[in-house]
Chains A and B, each alone.
Chain A
Amino acid sequence: MMSKIVRTMSNILILFVFVYGLYIIMHGHLTPGGGFQGGAIVASGVALLLVAFGSHNLHKSLKERHLSILESGGGLIFIGLAFGGLATIFFYNFLVGSPIFGHIPPSGPNPGDIWTGGVIPFMNLAVGLKVLAGFSAILLVMALASSRKEVEE
């Protein structure tokens, strides 16, 4: 548990880090980035909260049960989208040309259009949720296992 200035500033900064990570996940089909990179950014924001508040105080509001629900949901959405195009082949991109996310960009360099990509933005969201929840759960469990109250028991 650090001083009052550090705790107040990390309370404010976690919002900006979360919005930035979500921006990088959702624009993964236009700019460099995607699911893995955005999930790692939000997990580093959770590490900031862990350093500022201490692992016992953070465990009162963020338990591993809720993180495991998030991770399993992300994995199931990924597998469900892979099975969705099974009419042709496994992992077929069945949303190219349809009204949801189905525009086709002009070939060559162009300013990006966000409604392109087919099934790829949903896959970015699923993998981003999985990586976010997985790395945060690993950090939380290891910090709890090596804190001072655990070692004294």
Chain B
Amino acid sequence: MRKIAMAVSLSVFIAFLVATAFLIRPFGYPPSQMDDYIIENAQSETGTNNVVTAVVFDYRGFDTLGEATILFTAVAGVTMLFRRKRRE
């Protein structure tokens, strides 16, 4: 019974994914108003040659701050899970 439900739902989901892959907009022509502004003005406003680094650290710095917090939490969690009891 569980296997029939799993097979039906999985095939419906895969059919939805394949239909999306055919009906999405053609590959190679994305809408790009914000990125045109960033490519034009990144050298004079931030002063770097690398536009991707300018986006990661200057135009979207809050995402990098959240990601540094997640890395710190993961390291704290792993270190706490493997703590040994002190043998007196």
What residues make up the interface of A, taking CB atoms closer than 8 Å to B? Answer: 28-32, 34, 64, 71, 75, 78-79, 82, 91, 93, 96, 102-105, 107, 110, 112, 116-118, 120, 123-124, 127, 130-131, 134, 137-138, 141-142, 144-145
Contacts and interface: CB of A to CB of B under 8 A. Distances in A.
Interface in B24-54: 43-50, 52-54
Interface of B: 43-50, 52-54, 56-58, 61-62, 64-65, 68, 71-72, 74-75, 78-79, 82
Contacts, number: 90
A12 B82 CA distance: 32
Given A28-B50, A118-B47, A141-B78, A71 B58 contact: no
A121 B75 CA distance: 25
Given A91-B61, A93-B58, A145-B82, A34 B53 contact: yes
9 contacts: A28-B53, A31-B50, A79-B65, A93-B45, A93-B47, A112-B49, A116-B49, A130-B71, A138-B74
Contacts of B49: 29-30, 105, 110, 112, 116
A33 B13 CA distance: 37
State the 7 A-B residue pairs at the shortest beta-carbon distance, nearest first. A91-B61, A29-B48, A145-B82, A117-B48, A134-B75, A96-B47, A118-B47
Interface majority SS (helix, strand, loop, mixed), chain B: helix
Contact of B56 (A34, A71, A105, A107): A34
Contacts of A110: 49
B78 to A, nearest CB: 5
B87 to A, nearest CB: 11
Nearest to B56: A34
A120 B53 contact: yes
A53 B8 CA distance: 51
